[in-house]
């Protein structure tokens, strides 16, 4: 089942539902207002049967028991995992606190989520990685250590897929139980966590690959940015470059506002644009910005592989 765009009616009945989760799933809720922290509180009537067949499509607005809502800069966190059995998707509205509307028994309280299952979208277990990793493997760029780490991530993904589908079946047998919900939701959110093999930061292409690998992969069309910071403040100028591709460095210089009309722009030579500056730090204090800009331009224009925009070299 594909979840389509939401109309005006649903957007009014579930907080930010259409905007953030993109669903046409009915949601009956009553807003209780916002607290001083900006979290909206709602009471929701869940349209939920006593059990759900594991192989059947489903889309449900539910209370996420134990979730602590908080004011967030984003409207929703979305998690999607494709398995050989179908695709599970969880959309969490972090700034909404939800409470079940029940005639009997203790209502569940927590966050508000949209849970969906689409049995028509299947895929063999795969750890979610940037496509650059597949290119690196195909081109024979990976070291034995890197290959071992990626293979271990794949084994983890295979185990997690089965654990996730088992949690989905258990949820279907007892959808009103807090434990079955929390177990499923927690597994969905943790599926892409590379621990204990790596950390999310270390699995970023800019850190996972070495300099030669990054340059080669850029040549295959992948964007692997580095740190290319050029900051002009009054009486203070800072340049911080780390694994900075020449193309990105030229763009960072050209975005400046200081001496914009008097100093030339830079460009990376096409045959060298994927090369990078491994490490460079410069701090100028007490230097007027105009003079500092000229000093920085002198430094950058001397870098092999960069040329002024009017240069034919």
The domains of the chain are located at: 1-123, 124-224, 225-308
Mean of per-residue pLDDT scores for the chain: 89
Judge whether residue 7 has pLDDT over 60.
no
Judge whether residue 78 has pLDDT over 80.
yes
The conformation of residue 264, written as its DSSP 8-state character, comes to P
Task: Give 74's pLDDT tier (boundaries 50, 70, 90).
Answer: confident
- Which pLDDT score, from 0 to 100, does residue 3 have? 34
pLDDT in tens, 262-285: 899 999 999 999 999 999 999 999
Report the distance separating Cα 148 and Cα 293, nearest Å.
Answer: 46
Strands (E), 84-210: 86-100, 109-118
Judge whether residue 84 has pLDDT over 50.
yes
User: Which residues have CB under 8 Å from 144's CB, separation 6+?
Assistant: none
Closest by Cα among 181, 2, 149, 24 to 86: 2
* C-alpha dist (Å) from residue 273 to 143, 221, 233, 244, 259: 25, 12, 28, 10, 24
pLDDT in tens, 8-41: 333 345 655 555 676 677 777 888 888 888 899 9
Contact 267, 306 (CB under 8 A): yes
- Which pLDDT score, from 0 to 100, does residue 2 have? 32
pLDDT in tens, 181-217: 999 999 999 999 999 999 999 999 999 999 999 999 9
Looking at per-residue pLDDT, the higher value among 254 and 9 belongs to 254
In this structure, what are the phi and psi dihedrals at residue 86, rounded to the nearest 5 degrees? 150, -175
Contact 81, 88 (CB under 8 A): yes
Burial of 69 (0-12, 13-18, 19+ CB in 10 A): buried
């Amino acid at each position: 089942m594909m979840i389509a765009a939401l109309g005006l009616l649903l957007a009014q009945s579930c907080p930010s539902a259409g905007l953030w989760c993109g669903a046409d799933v009915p949601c009956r809720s009553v807003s209780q207002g916002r607290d001083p922290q900006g979290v909206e509180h709602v009471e929701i009537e869940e349209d939920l049967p006593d059990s759900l067949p594991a192989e059947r499509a489903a889309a449900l607005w539910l209370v996420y028991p134990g979730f602590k809502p908080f004011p967030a800069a984003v409207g929703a966190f979305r998690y999607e995992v494709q398995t050989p059995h179908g695709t599970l998707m969880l959309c969490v509205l972090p700034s909404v606190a939800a409470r079940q509307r029940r005639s009997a028994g203790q209502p569940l309280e927590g966050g508000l989520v949209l849970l969906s299952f689409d049995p028509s979208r299947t895929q063999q277990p795969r750890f979610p990685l940037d496509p650059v990793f597949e290119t690196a493997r195909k081109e024979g760029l990976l070291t034995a250590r890197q290959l071992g780490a990626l293979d271990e991530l794949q084994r983890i993904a295979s185990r997690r897929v089965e654990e996730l589908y088992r949690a989905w079946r258990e949820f279907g047998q007892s959808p009103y139980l807090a434990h079955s919900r929390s177990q499923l939701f927690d597994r969905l959110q943790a599926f892409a966590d590379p621990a204990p093999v790596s950390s999310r930061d270390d699995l970023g292409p800019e850190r996972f690959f070495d300099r030669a690998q990054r340059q080669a992969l850029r040549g295959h069309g992948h964007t692997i940015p580095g740190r290319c910071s050029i900051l002009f403040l009054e009486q203070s100028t800072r340049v911080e470059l780390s694994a900075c591709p020449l193309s990105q460095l030229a763009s960072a210089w050209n975005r400046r506002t200081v001496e914009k009309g008097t100093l030339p722009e830079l460009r990376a030579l096409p045959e060298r644009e994927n090369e990078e500056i491994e490490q460079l730090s410069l701090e100028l204090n007490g230097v007027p910005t105009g003079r500092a800009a000229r000093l920085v331009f002198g430094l950058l224009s001397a870098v092999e592989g960069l040329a002024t925009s009017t240069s034919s070299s």
